[in-house]
Structure 1
């Protein structure tokens, strides 16, 4: 179901659709009061990778799964993060800004952290040739370029971008679901064999990421809407990018297993978080 050609094309379309939905005015408002953005980026680019590294060092899964967990933590926010932030009552502009900036930064952060993971874990059992240049170029072409094109069209032709976005966003969400399901089908035996290794680790990482983001937001005294956005952005990962890097750039289907599992887990915890914050809002306002 996942092919070498279909996966990068689908991911590129997802990133293009994301760019179409981002408003320049929203960016300006976020940058005008950047504290929440800085907290969100710190959680995403520093806290989450550190948590993943600590978890892997303690959990000690198989080398491919260990690298896959580091790869997952290096990925930017997921394509549904802004939508789920909206349902939770968070600040959509902040969520969209963090998603865009971490997606642009992925060209650097993903190769850097995957290189670290391969050196620390996979190198113990076998010699690994790290395709840093290929990985950087691949991520740039399927992640950064399509996002920039979507942003450019939104900037130059906002009405066209709005019309395209109405169709592209649901299609992108569907493509994301198909990528995850396709990856699950192709790796179902590996998932069944190692469910006890990967599922608890993915769930623990997700809960730790969301909790860490909440603590950072609280310490920074962010308002409720900003704190929700930071939590959702830190809990939702672009699993499609993790699958693409593992399969297409690293040639290791086993390394995409953590991304597959996390993609299922993160949506369940996100829904639980939405229910919790909505219930709290009803109690406070009622």
Structure 2
């Protein structure tokens, strides 16, 4: 995973993915947060506070080696990716809320990701300051996470028609490049991955299941409607594993620290798919449809109602 293919290819793949996210974003996606404050606040609290604490407990329970433990916390601190939007769409979640949460999480992660990673390093690797995210590296995280997103948003503001045309090609290109790069990384470091797959498969699968469950159950308990709870579930349960791998390898400089994200990145697709079918069900599907119709009617009513004078 330390080859030129990954040290150059992975950041390029991540940059294209984040640029594609920016192409789909407008200021309205951030403004929408104010219209659904309850769902957003609950999702962010789960993402930023509950999830790292849950991951910390799992790491102690599974007794992972220190570097892998930090890798798990780095994964937990990574925001949701665009894949969450796809799953939310497939299982009738509130995709608009997903887009807003992804945008907001990407901004907040610039602060929280270095903070949580440094706390994990201080706990599990005390005295090893060389692995920390010092201010210069934190700026690098900022550029990796937000730079391409801002560039994509500027392109959309400047040339909206071009941004619409490029949306699909950029998505396809990012997937192709990412698959090629990850396949190359696996082949070049197959033995290292196999040596650690057994000890990481259990914790990554459990972490993914608990994250998805947390993101769905907590909002429902707090009376958030089902479509928004589905969106929250996938946003919290599907992390940007590519970002965690890039930060571990290119910013921190540890191939071993990227292994939890690599294993998680392979397994999460199947777990999220199964979870989506589980929460949808026949009754849940009807409820999601009903919530969706109600939301659309409310939106239409708001658009056609003339302003008061």
TM-based fold match above 0.5: yes
Moved more, 113-122 or 154-163: 154-163
Instruction: Tell me whether 1:193 sits opposite 2:195 in the alignment.
Output: yes
Moved more, 186-195 or 226-235: 186-195
How far did residue 110 of structure 1 move?
1.3
Match of 1:280 in 2: 282
How far did residue 28 of structure 1 move?
3.3
Match of 1:127 in 2: 128
Contact 1:183–1:243 under 8 Å retained in 2 = no
Moved more, 153-162 or 179-188: 179-188
How far did residue 282 of structure 1 move?
7.5
TM-score, normalized by length of structure 1? 0.92
Contact 1:85–1:91 under 8 Å retained in 2 = yes
- Residue pairs, 1:83-232, within 5 angstroms: 83-123=86-126, 127-129=128-130, 130-232=132-234
Moved over 6 A (4+): none
Encode CA deviations 1:164-183: one digit per residue, 9 max, x unaligned.
11211222233333343333
Aligned to 2:129, what secondary structure does the other structure show?
coil
CA distance in 2, matches of 1:254, 1:282: 41
Contact 1:183–1:260 under 8 Å retained in 2 = no
Gaps of 5+ in 2: 290-309
Contact 1:246–1:252 under 8 Å retained in 2 = yes
CA distance in 1, matches of 2:185, 2:79: 19
CA distance in 2, matches of 1:283, 1:242: 33
CA distance in 2, matches of 1:78, 1:180: 16
Root-mean-square deviation over aligned CA pairs: 2.1
CA distance in 2, matches of 1:217, 1:282: 15
CA distance in 1, matches of 2:233, 2:6: 33
CA distance in 1, matches of 2:272, 2:235: 10
Instruction: Tell me whether 1:10 sits opposite 2:13 in the alignment.
Output: yes
Report which of the two structures shows the higher radius of gyration computed on alpha carbons: 2
How far did residue 206 of structure 1 move?
0.8
Match of 2:244 in 1: 242
TM-score, normalized by length of structure 2? 0.85
Moved more, 50-59 or 132-141: 132-141
CA distance in 2, matches of 1:271, 1:110: 26
CA distance in 1, matches of 2:221, 2:277: 23
Gaps of 5+ in 1: none
